[in-house]
């Protein structure tokens, strides 16, 4: 019996187990949904054991979405890490990619279980709407099932064939990794069809009959949400993988383990922040499409009943920026030579804090008549100036620039450039950062003196300046640090435990932020199943108070982390078993 045939059999067996699981789950879902539909009295809507059907769907759909984001996000950076390992011939990258992928197997099962529960719930609680959507999008449902099986087969085979496809066969494993991502992206794009159609319906006539399936698929918000979710999945996956590394770091018993998971946590957090930085731009695009589809929906989102939730979003994103910088600064403690840059930390923290405060300042505040007359209106005469987009765009761009600068300092912590043009290079880099900051500030201030239609265009210059500065800085940094003198090796593992709590904070905040933004995106349909076309006439079709909504987001976050801890435990247990 050859080792190769044994490994092939193991890989195929593991893959089939995944297929069997999905097959059994789908069969159970079908039987339960059909059984309940036949058993329960006919109705347009049904309650969830006496509770709100809307909230039940919300909680399960959000949990399913979070796991789906994780299993679609992780393979993207797992395969990139694997590529880096092949390119640099450093085994530690291949080990890291495998560590990331290890988290997937159990997470796939939970994603599928939650998806099945969601399917049963939409069929049983909203039978007529589900019937209508099923009929409209029947070909996409069939495609979705094919894609699910394809994803399971490729992803499981990717995992189980890791050791089999090494050496000369590595290229096949990399190809499998690319295929997992292509398949996963297709899966995401198909699922987004139904969600975005409900937000911005197209391709149906006044009576609701389908006139063009393609128009219904490529509805106005479909592609912006595809891109937004793709980026968010990577950021989310990175944050959760970093949290896993943090747990393993805190439970580590050896120096080797601590070093390994310290490095994994750093890579995970770096991926999360790198994918997080372009997210606001994808968000702008989505927002613009929403406004173009329905001005009223756009205004409801940004200036109407949901406007206050953006203050919460600002607080979360501000917290994420502070936590990621805090983590980097603590990480500098394990880099010999990085003490040269400690002097920058306090000014950067002040800048981030000011940016945070400006971003979280509301434009108008709820006030009594007396308070309003004392203020001279619903806006505070001075603080109100910081509540507008001009100030907020300026604040967030400076925060992005600061975080980028922090990371660049971290990167060169233990290195001294030795190229002949090192001083000139550093001066140019400093000038590039200063120029970008000046452009951002100039347009931020100028925004106050021009009409809103011109002001909107200024955000492009601000974003452009920041992106250009980051690109130029990196383009100089790579040759600058080539052949640099190393002061000492990074002491992986020698980082305080509180840095791991910064990683947890980032994972929790990303999850909460995802829950909140999901609520806003779905909530702006208000009492419509399909916006402007099909009304929700159930008893719970109302927009709840923000306070209640945030409690539900918190409950979802806690449930998610309890389930994720099972994934973490399974991943650690598997390793223990293998070691034995």
* Nearest Cα to Cα of residue 398 among 355, 369, 439: 355
- How large is the C-alpha radius of gyration of the chain? 25
Residue 498 makes CB contacts below 8 A (sequence gap 6+) with 330
| Residue 290 vs 432, nearer CB to other proteins | 290
CA 49, CA 47: separation in Å to the nearest integer? 6
| Residue 385 vs 476, nearer CB to other proteins | 385
| Residue 326 vs 512, nearer CB to other proteins | 512
Angle at 443 between CA 441 and CA 447, to 5 degrees: 120
Minimum CB separation of residue 162 from other proteins in Å reads 17
CA 246, CA 268: separation in Å to the nearest integer? 10
| Residue 274 vs 534, nearer CB to other proteins | 534
| Residue 134 vs 353, nearer CB to other proteins | 134
Q: Please list, residue by residue across 156-192, b when 16 or more beta carbons sit within 10 angstroms of its beta carbon and e when fewer do.
A: bbbbbbbebbeeeeeeebbebbebbbebbbbbbbbbb
**The token pair that represents 251 in the structure block:** 């439970």
CA 288, CA 267: separation in Å to the nearest integer? 33
| Residue 128 vs 340, nearer CB to other proteins | 128
* Nearest Cα to Cα of residue 498 among 329, 318, 349: 329
Decide: helix, strand or coil at residue 451.
coil
Count other C-beta atoms under 10 Å from residue 574's C-beta. Answer: 13
CB 537 within 8 A of CB 45: yes
Minimum CB separation of residue 412 from other proteins in Å reads 32
Minimum CB separation of residue 530 from other proteins in Å reads 8
| Residue 386 vs 405, nearer CB to other proteins | 386
Minimum CB separation of residue 368 from other proteins in Å reads 11
| Residue 48 vs 504, nearer CB to other proteins | 504
The DSSP call for residue 486 is E
Minimum CB separation of residue 39 from other proteins in Å reads 14
Minimum CB separation of residue 149 from other proteins in Å reads 7
Minimum CB separation of residue 419 from other proteins in Å reads 45
Minimum CB separation of residue 394 from other proteins in Å reads 23
* Nearest Cα to Cα of residue 179 among 159, 161, 155: 155
């Amino acid at each position: 019996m050859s080792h190769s045939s044994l490994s092939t059999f193991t890989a195929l067996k593991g893959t089939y187990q995944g297929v069997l699981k999905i097959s059994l789950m789908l069969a159970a879902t079908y039987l339960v949904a059909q059984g309940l539909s036949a058993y329960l009295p006919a109705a347009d809507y049904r309650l969830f054991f006496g509770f709100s059907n809307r909230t039940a769907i919300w909680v399960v759909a959000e949990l399913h979405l979070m796991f789906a984001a994780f299993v679609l996000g992780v393979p993207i950076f797992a395969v990139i890490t694997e590529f880096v390992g092949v390119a640099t011939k450093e085994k530690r990258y291949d080990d890291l990619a495998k560590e990331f992928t290890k988290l997937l197997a159990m997470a796939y099962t939970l994603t599928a279980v939650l998806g099945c529960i969601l399917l049963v719930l939409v069929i049983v609680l909203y039978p007529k709407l589900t019937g209508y959507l099923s009929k409209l999008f029947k070909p996409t449902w069939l495609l979705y099932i094919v894609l699910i099986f394809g994803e399971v087969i490729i992803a499981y085979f990717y995992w189980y064939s890791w050791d089999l496809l090494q050496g000369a066969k590595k290229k096949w494993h990399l190809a499998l990794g690319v295929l997992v991502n292509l398949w996963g992206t297709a899966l995401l794009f198909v699922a987004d069809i139904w969600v975005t159609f409900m937000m911005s319906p197209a391709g149906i006539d006044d009576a609701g009959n389908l006139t063009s399936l393609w128009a219904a698929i490529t509805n106005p918000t479909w592609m912006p949400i595809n891109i937004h979710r793709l980026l968010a999945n990577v950021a989310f996956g990175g944050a959760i993988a970093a949290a896993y590394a943090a747990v393993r770091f805190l439970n580590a018993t050896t120096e080797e383990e601590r070093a390994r998971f310290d490095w994994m946590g750093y890579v995970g957090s770096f991926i999360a922040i790198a994918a997080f930085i372009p997210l606001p731009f994808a968000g702008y695009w989505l927002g613009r499409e929403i406004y173009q589809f329905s001005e009223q929906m756009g205004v409801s989102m940004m200036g109407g009943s949901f406007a206050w939730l953006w203050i919460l979003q600002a607080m979360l994103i501000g917290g994420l920026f502070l936590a990621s910088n805090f983590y980097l600064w603590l990480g500098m403690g394990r880099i010999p030579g990085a003490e040269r840059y400690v002097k920058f930390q306090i000014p950067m923290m002040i800048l981030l804090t000011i940016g945070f405060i400006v971003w979280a300042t509301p434009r108008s505040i709820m006030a009594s008549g007396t308070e309003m007359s004392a203020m001279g209106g619903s806006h505070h005469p001075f603080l109100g100036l910081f509540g507008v987009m001009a100030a907020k765009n300026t604040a967030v761009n400076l925060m992005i620039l600061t975080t980028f600068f922090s990371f660049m300092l971290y990167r060169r912590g233990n290195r001294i450039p030795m190229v002949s043009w090192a001083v000139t290079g550093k001066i140019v880099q400093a000038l590039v950062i200063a120029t970008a900051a000046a452009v951002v500030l100039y347009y931020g201030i100028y925004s106050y003196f021009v009409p809103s239609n011109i002001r909107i265009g200024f955000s492009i210059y601000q974003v452009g300046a920041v992106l250009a500065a980051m690109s130029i800085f990196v383009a100089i940094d790579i040759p600058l640090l080539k052949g640099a003198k190393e002061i000492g090796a990074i002491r992986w593992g020698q980082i305080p435990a509180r840095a791991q709590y910064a990683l947890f904070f980032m994972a929790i905040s990303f999850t909460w932020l995802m829950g909140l933004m999901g609520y806003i995106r779905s909530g702006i349909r208000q009492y419509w199943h399909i916006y402007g076309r099909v009304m929700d006439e159930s008893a719970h079709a109302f927009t709840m108070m923000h306070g209640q909504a945030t409690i539900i987001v918190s409950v979802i976050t806690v449930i998610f982390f309890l389930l994720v801890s099972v994934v973490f435990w399974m991943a650690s247990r598997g390793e223990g078993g293998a070691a034995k």
